[in-house]
Amino acid sequence: MTVRGPARAAFLALAGALALAACQPAAKAPKPGNVTAERLTAAEPGQWMSYGRTYDEQRFSPLDKITPANVGQLGLAWHADFDTDRGQQATPIVVDGTLYTTTAWSKVFAFDAKTGAPKWTYDPKVDGNTGFKACCDVVNRGVAVWNGKVFVGALDGRLIALDAATGKEVWSKVTVDQSKPYTITGAPRVIKGRVIIGNGGAEYGVRGYVSAYDAETGDLVWRFYTTPNPDGQPDNAASDKIFAEKAGATWFDGAWKKSGGGGTVWDAMAYDPALNTLYVGVGNGSPWNHRVRSGGKGDNLFLSSILALDPDTGAYKWHYQTTPGETWDYTATQHIMLADLTIDGQPRKVLMQAPKNGFFYVIDRTDGKLISAKPYIPISWAKGVDMATGRPIEVPEARFAKKPALVMPAPFGGHNWHPMAFNAKEGLVYIPAMAIPSAYGNVAKFGYRDGTWNTGTDFLLAALPNDEAQRNAMKSMLKGMLIAWDPVKQEARWTVEHPYFWNAGILSTAGGLVFQGAAEGKFRAYDAATGKELWSTETTNGVIAPPSTYEIDGEQYIALMVGYGGAAPLAAAAFLPDRPRLPGRLLVFKLGGKATAPAYDIPPKQPIDLAGVTSKGDAKAGFAAYMDNCQVCHGANASGAYLPDLRRSAIVKDEASFKSVVLEGSLAQNGMVSFAKYLSPKQVEDVRAYLLTEAKRQQALDQAAAATPGAAKAGR
Ligand code: CA
């Protein structure tokens, strides 16, 4: 055999390697996805092995190669494009040189974290009509990796284990009653070989719980319910004891017996190995309205609570309820972060949370006792927290008992799912905060509707003024912010205001930087001490996800999923940037990165021709039916452009086409299921008549804008 040229060099190298291999033990390649309790607790600096990087969920990386002095040299190292244009919320997980991420519709991807070379993909093939069950977009916040496996919670309620090397399914378990409107969007965590997973669905009507599954076999180990069993029977679950002793007595007659009460565990978890305690955040009530849900009586444990559980058995340890008798969609599912702080000269093991209700809580995580609570945004529902009882000092009118009330914050919360980050050196928690009010009022008569939204509140109050100037005035009142919060002093050290209220997740690094994207598409780095903007890049897509960071061969990388979406772009588009829905993308940056990503193909907005289009429907009745049934996905007053813009959709031009979608479910695979259960054929035509008035209004605004060159784009 003759081997020449480059092939000869390769041959010799191979021959040499074989000769070496013959006389030396082979260097063992690391097992893909080799995450263990020891490694997670050691918090290896170059890795990002779990959702919040470490069990304390601080989202702080000890990497310091990227600094305020050189961050200006940050450039793209590589990128990947995805096949879905819905919201992207995942935290990229990096273990031993492989990056694992998820996209909307719960798809999983593995890449070489240095080069971006794809390794494998996994599509759980979630049925498109599951999209209807997702209050807040068909998002997924990422995977957990443990002992050679990758775990993902699929939107339809499955928990799936994949082989970390190949992406092949190892096991799959259905964790919910799929006949009910349950979804999973949150990232699993793995503690002592058990995969912990919750679910969502409290806007519709489900009973919340958190479960632990054996990572190797997929067997259910324990389950803890957050609301009582409507049947009045024990569940044979870890929660039985505390409900019998204490929590069950905090619920009274009401719609929770049909809706399950809510309390879904859809996001936050943290773990303290030394205390062997798992902390989970519990969601809002179902229905929202406390009077409808529980006759206006009782605290309704464990809604809006932080729960401390034994991760081995699921046994209750303690709880802290942030909003007793929750009635405003004030979940406590927001990011839970553990840290050791010095308070009044004493070292304290604390748990910190900035839940939707607007208070920043510092809690002793050994026993659940409140250390301090102060509002991190302006709030109107409470005057403070009583330190003796730990309960909020409520403003009675905010409960909208006799008349509607304008309340701060709105159901979007002072802070939503967007992760915070911590910097121990600066002593700061970085909060993606929002200041938005909302009007709450009672429904005239509550009728539980199986499978759809059941809040027990008056959705007509979300109606927008028809006057464009008034809409713009409202828009300018809504604020999104990055707040650097001192948890010891309970005050902001600095605040950066964003152009729009809908926020993005945060990364903090030992290099003294804070990274955050934005709804309007920028990705920025700030000085951790001062908030000074030091670097930014234009993603040309909306950003809501948090970045992560890792190191390979001495270089530090910053990874970010881009792709606009989530709750607010669906329901509150009138107050957000006017942006098209674009395919998701993973951007990975490093110092001196020179890669480029192709420009997005942005389709122009198509005006619809309404000449001769009429409807015999009642537009006024259609407006009421629209606000009750359609606005959470298509926006108040049809202002949503995220899920098809109904003011520009050709479907509204034709009675038969509209009925085929709304009554017959012809677009069910996109998540637009049949509304035949909720709307009569007459009501559907009324809705179409109403939508035609909005289409005409928009057409007039578009024409006026076109006739005024250089004028700001009117009408959202
Ligand atoms: Ca909610």
Shared domain check, 224 and 134: yes
Residue 649 pLDDT:
92
Q: Which of 593, 558, 594 is nearest to 64 (CA)?
A: 558
At residue 384's C-alpha, the angle toward residues 383 and 388, to 5°, is 135
Shared domain check, 698 and 562: no
What separation in Å is there between the alpha carbon of 287 and the centre of ligand 1? 10
Whether pLDDT at 22 is above 60: no
What separation in Å is there between the alpha carbon of 416 and the centre of ligand 1? 10
Check which CATH number belongs to the domain holding 233 and give it: 2.140.10.10
Shared domain check, 672 and 549: no
Q: Give a yes or no: residue 564 inside a domain.
A: yes
Q: For 312-349, how does the pLDDT look when each residue is reduced to its tens digit (9 = 90+)?
A: 999 999 999 999 999 999 999 999 999 999 999 999 99
Residues 46-72 have a mean pLDDT of 98
Shared domain check, 204 and 167: yes
What separation in Å is there between the alpha carbon of 652 and the centre of ligand 1? 30
Whether pLDDT at 17 is above 80: no
Q: Give a yes or no: residue 596 inside a domain.
A: no
The 10 Å CB-count burial string (b at 16+, else e) for 657-696 is ebbebbbebebbeebbbbbeebbeeebbbbbbbbbbbbbe
* Catalytic residue selected from 329, 628, 645, 686: 329
Q: 27 versus 244: which is more confidently predicted?
A: 244
Q: For 455-468, how does the pLDDT look when each residue is reduced to its tens digit (9 = 90+)?
A: 999 999 999 999 98
In the chain, pLDDT over 90 holds for what percent of residues? 89
Residues 274-297 have a mean pLDDT of 98
Q: For 255-269, how does the pLDDT look when each residue is reduced to its tens digit (9 = 90+)?
A: 999 999 999 999 999
Q: For 592-644, how does the pLDDT look when each residue is reduced to its tens digit (9 = 90+)?
A: 999 999 999 988 887 789 999 999 999 999 999 999 999 999 999 999 888 98
What separation in Å is there between the alpha carbon of 281 and the centre of ligand 1? 12
Shared domain check, 567 and 519: yes
Please give the helix or strand (H or E) that residue 149 lies within, else none: strand 149-153
Alpha helices in 596-637 (DSSP H): 619-629, 631-634
Q: Are 552 and 96 in contact (CB under 8 A)?
A: no
Q: Which of 358, 394, 387 is nearest to 375 (CA)?
A: 358
Whether pLDDT at 444 is above 80: yes
As given in the structure block, the two tokens for residue 642 are 């995220």
- How many separate domains does the chain show? 2
Measure the CA–CA gap between 370 and 301, rounded to whole angstroms: 17
Q: 18 versus 454: which is more confidently predicted?
A: 454
Shared domain check, 652 and 518: no
Q: Which of 546, 540, 341 is nearest to 427 (CA)?
A: 341
What separation in Å is there between the alpha carbon of 186 and the centre of ligand 1? 14
Check which CATH number belongs to the domain holding 645 and give it: 1.10.760.10
Measure the CA–CA gap between 259 and 249, rounded to whole angstroms: 18
What separation in Å is there between the alpha carbon of 264 and the centre of ligand 1? 9
Q: Give a yes or no: residue 431 inside a domain.
A: no
Model-level pTM? 0.94
56 given a catalytic annotation: no
Shared domain check, 577 and 537: yes
Number of CB atoms found within 10 A of residue 702's CB: 17
DSSP states of 400-425: -SSS-EEESS-TT-SS-SS--EEETT
Shared domain check, 642 and 569: no
Q: Give a yes or no: residue 79 inside a domain.
A: yes
What separation in Å is there between the alpha carbon of 413 and the centre of ligand 1? 9
What separation in Å is there between the alpha carbon of 441 and the centre of ligand 1? 17
Measure the CA–CA gap between 638 and 660, rounded to whole angstroms: 19
Residue 359 pLDDT:
98
Q: Of 549, 573, 591, which one is at a domain's C-terminal end?
A: 591
Residue type, 324: P
Shared domain check, 200 and 157: yes
Strand partners of residue 162: 150, 169
Shared domain check, 246 and 169: yes
What separation in Å is there between the alpha carbon of 284 and the centre of ligand 1? 5
Q: Give a yes or no: residue 229 inside a domain.
A: yes
Residues with Cβ within 8 Å of residue 414, at least 6 apart in sequence: 354, 355, 356, 357, 358, 375, 376, 377, 379, 433, 434, 435
Q: Give a yes or no: residue 575 inside a domain.
A: yes
What separation in Å is there between the alpha carbon of 304 and the centre of ligand 1? 10
What separation in Å is there between the alpha carbon of 303 and the centre of ligand 1? 11
Shared domain check, 531 and 627: no
What separation in Å is there between the alpha carbon of 632 and the centre of ligand 1? 12
Mean of pLDDT over the chain: 94
Q: Give a yes or no: residue 486 inside a domain.
A: no
Measure the CA–CA gap between 142 and 591, rounded to whole angstroms: 26
Residues 89-102 have a mean pLDDT of 98
Residue 26 pLDDT:
52
Residue 12 pLDDT:
43
DSSP 4: -
120 backbone dihedrals φ, ψ, rounded to 5°: -165, 165
Whether pLDDT at 716 is above 60: no
Q: For 345-398, how does the pLDDT look when each residue is reduced to its tens digit (9 = 90+)?
A: 999 999 999 999 999 999 999 999 999 999 999 999 999 999 999 999 999 999
Q: For 652-708, how does the pLDDT look when each residue is reduced to its tens digit (9 = 90+)?
A: 999 999 999 999 999 999 999 999 999 999 999 999 999 999 999 999 988 888 887
Shared domain check, 240 and 104: yes
Q: Give a yes or no: residue 34 inside a domain.
A: no
At residue 695's C-alpha, the angle toward residues 630 and 518, to 5°, is 65
What separation in Å is there between the alpha carbon of 348 and the centre of ligand 1? 32
Q: For 110-168, how does the pLDDT look when each residue is reduced to its tens digit (9 = 90+)?
A: 999 999 999 999 999 999 999 999 999 999 999 999 999 999 999 999 999 999 999 99
CB-count exposure of residue 560 (10 Å: 0-12, 13-18, 19+) = buried
What separation in Å is there between the alpha carbon of 329 and the centre of ligand 1? 5
As given in the structure block, the two tokens for residue 184 are 């999973």
Domain limits at 116? 57-330+363-374+383-394+497-591
How far is the first Cα of the chain from the last one, in angstroms, to the nearest whole number?
72
Q: Are 619 and 692 in contact (CB under 8 A)?
A: yes
